[in-house]
Amino acid sequence: MRICGTASQRKNLPDPMTQDTPVTSIVDRLDDAVSDTPLTARMLLDGLGTAALVPALIVPALLLVSPLSAIPLFSSFCGLAIIVIAAQGAVGRSQPWLPRFLQDRSLPAERTRTAIGVLRRMTAWLDRVSRRRLSFLVRTPLNNLLYLVCAVAAAFIPFLELVPMSSTTIGMGILLISVGILTRDGIFALLGLGVLGLASLLPWFVVTRVAMIAS
């Protein structure tokens, strides 16, 4: 089952990659999906309509850097979603798929509205500064490697739930890489790789600090 149902069931919405503000358009669609009832990943991703894999990868990355990441185990679910979606990108799949237990993960509507307000300011900035640069870095076959990096990085999220800022930092790295692929901006992809490199140092930093305090 695809995350948005069959092609006949999906909304025929414009591809975010064709919009003047592609990242903000993704947040707009999430905002349209918010109602007074608890949201599911299925409902949020259905708001992307016929959008392809990259916007679907941006959704959980955005949520990781939002206030929603404070919900217990929420980061782990986002990490699992990123693993599944990014792995599909690594093998060249164009339409995403998620298992049912991830599709049915619910979010509180009010907290989601608050998170979207925060994300809208961030995505507006991303749209302003992103443009086509070093595009060869985010095209096939190199973009397949970028998807693989995102999947591997996300695999560490469930194990780093208790490490402060780790999930958010990984989410930011994956977000920058995804935005780079979406907007054909290789600079963003390089920045994302740098952020993921920084994230890899966080557990070592925390362990070192704890050891210093304990001694």
pLDDT confidence of residue 27? 85
Task: Report residue 155 as tokens.
Answer: 């695999």
Q: Give the DSSP letter of residue 97.
A: B
Q: Which two tokens stand for residue 77?
A: 């679910």
Q: Which of 124, 127, 126, 120 is nearest to 31 (CA)?
A: 120
Residue written as tokens 């592609």?
22
pLDDT of residue 1: 36
| Structural domain total, the chain | 1
Residue range of the domain that includes 120: 19-214
Averaged over successive runs of 10 residues, the pLDDT of the chain (215 residues) comes to 40 51 82 72 68 84 87 90 95 85 79 83 90 92 95 92 86 96 95 94 76 76
210 in a domain, yes or no?
A: yes
Fill in the DSSP letter of residue 70. Answer: G
The pLDDT, as a whole number, for residue 49 is 57
User: Is 13 domain-assigned?
Assistant: no
Q: For the CA atoms of the chain, what is the radius of gyration?
A: 17
Q: Classify each residue of 107-117 as buried b or exposed e, where b means 16 or more C-beta atoms within 10 Å of its C-beta.
A: beeeebeebbe
Side-chain half-sphere CA neighbours of 97 within 13 A: 9
Please indicate, yes or no, if residue 7 is contained in any of the structural domains.
Answer: no
Q: What is the pTM of this model?
A: 0.83
